[in-house]
A and B are shown apart, each in its own frame.
Chain A
Amino acid sequence: MEPLDPHALAKAVYAGIRACAVTLRPDCRAALEEARSSAHDAGHAAREAAVLDDLLENAAIAAADGVPLCQDTGSVWVCLEAGESALIPGSIFSQVDDAVARAYQEGGLRMSIVEDALFNRANTRTNAPAFCEARFVPGRTSKLRVMLKGGGSDNASRLAMLPPGAGRAGVKQVVLDAVREKAANACPPLVVGVGVGATFDKVAGLSKRALLRPVGGAAASEEAAAFERELLEAINASGIGPAALGGAHTALAVHLETAPCHIAALPVAVNLGCCAMRSATFWLTDEEGRPLDEPRPADEEEGCAL
């Protein structure tokens, strides 16, 4: 088997950024349309309907004119999901930052990254570095995930290390507190990513990857699906609504990912995704694990096709 090619991976990063920045995920657009169809034009809900109309019109303008959906074109998160037959050179991410710089310059996107969080907040002026990670997944296929994450919605996210006795009610409270306190900053209607389990450092990753699942896609289990529905109902009962200007659609979906954990632990992370969720998935190999020269955008049901 040929090793994965850093150049091909960088091509996927470039294509993903350019497309994501100006294209609303089809699943999110469909969910916004569904929300709009159930919001009434008259009376108390008129503001909600008007905001949803604005968001749909925004997506149409961005696609037609090739302009960003949101002025915050995000930090770039790149995740290589390597299949079982993948050979990965140590240099696999070596061309990513160059691809990021070109995509942001040529796409007219906003440079939002500073050199150091604490000691040097000078803008890097390239939007690099990207935040890269690799995971090992079952099956032969290797894929690349790209997400542009806005600062407002990431700032509104949180992590809690609960005692195990807090149970489902404790998890629910963390999610509802995050939404109640911060949804207005995170550009609702939201996609709410919830991670439960693993360790302090891993649980945040679970909640972030939960955002990749297409809205309306199947949960990991019937038990998880039922808890997702319970959380979504509670969130939408808050009345915060689109743009936090009131209404029944504070969130489009809640996506839950759970994992094993220590007997003493119940880690919970909530990563809020904004109404302009931007992510894309590319196949880096064929189904047999053979590397592709040109990465291929994944189909919609696999997650976030463009």
Chain B
Amino acid sequence: MNSPIRVSLPDEVHILNAQPAGTKVLLSGTLYTMRDAGHERCLAHLREHGRLPFGLESQALFYAGPTPARAGRPFGAIGPTTASRMDFAAPELYRAGIVSTIGKGKRSDAVVDACRECGTTYLACVGGAAALLAKAVTAAECVAWEDLGTEALHRIQVDGLPAFVEVDAEGHSLYRQIEAAS
């Protein structure tokens, strides 16, 4: 395995977009957490106003619902949730300006097509390693939807968050490659 590629988001998204499926990346910079209930609200806003809320254009979404602060870190544990539950909204969000999404598990063909069309990516994190991943989060603030608890929209700063390019900007999918090989 080649050494991982370091990428700062959102500024260096062009570097991320140049990586083929299967590449290990270490993310730094800014991510936004959003999951099921947040996607419903985000999509409703987009359909009503024609644009994403809270300046999410050009930003990356981390499908994650963290645990509270612990051990001197902003979150005790944070890790990817199942990305396919966000497939109902993801193609529209990519077209509206989301540059990357981070989760676990396979995406629908519609999401892969949207990545190819928009030149965007989907990254997979290791599920079940949330204590380890939490060490890469250096700061977090709640931006909106506090009533949703863990599903609130958080802006987080990361330093060296490990992930793998699952769907690259040309629409190649690592999981589909692994399936085809077995």
Contact = CB atoms under 8 A, between A and B. Distances in A.
Contact of B76 (A58, A67, A185): A67
Interface residues of A, number: 47
Contacts of A239: 178, 181-182
Q: Which of A61, A68, A238, A276 has the most CB of B within 10 A?
A: A68
A246 interface: yes
B178 A245 contact: yes
A192 interface: no
B1 A245 contact: no
B127 A68 contact: no
Contacts of A187: 104, 127-128
A70 B79 contact: yes
B105 A184 contact: yes
A67 B133 CA distance: 12
A240 B82 contact: no
A99 interface: no
Interface stretch (A46-54, A217-225, A282-290, A293-301): A46-54
Interface string A145-156: 000000110010
A65 B131 contact: yes
How many B residues touch the partner, as a band? Answer: 35 or more
Interface string B80-101: 0110100000000000000000
A123 B149 CA distance: 7
Interface string A54-92: 110111011001111111110000000000000000000
A286 B18 CA distance: 63
Interface string B101-129: 00011100000000000000000101111
B38 to A, nearest CB: 13
Interface stretch (B7-15, B42-50, B51-59, B60-68): B60-68
Contact of B132 (A54, A111, A152, A237): A54
Nearest to A124: B149
8 nearest A-B residue pairs (beta carbon): A239-B182, A187-B127, A185-B105, A46-B1, A67-B76, A68-B77, A65-B71, A62-B131
Interface of B: 1, 22, 24, 37, 64-71, 73, 75-79, 81-82, 84, 104-106, 124, 126-132, 134-135, 148-151, 162, 164, 174-175, 178, 181-182
12 contacts: A47-B164, A65-B71, A65-B76, A67-B71, A68-B131, A70-B127, A70-B130, A71-B78, A109-B67, A111-B150, A185-B106, A245-B126
Given A68-B131, A110-B68, 11 more contacts: A54-B162, A55-B126, A65-B76, A67-B70, A67-B76, A71-B134, A109-B67, A151-B81, A243-B124, A243-B128, A275-B128
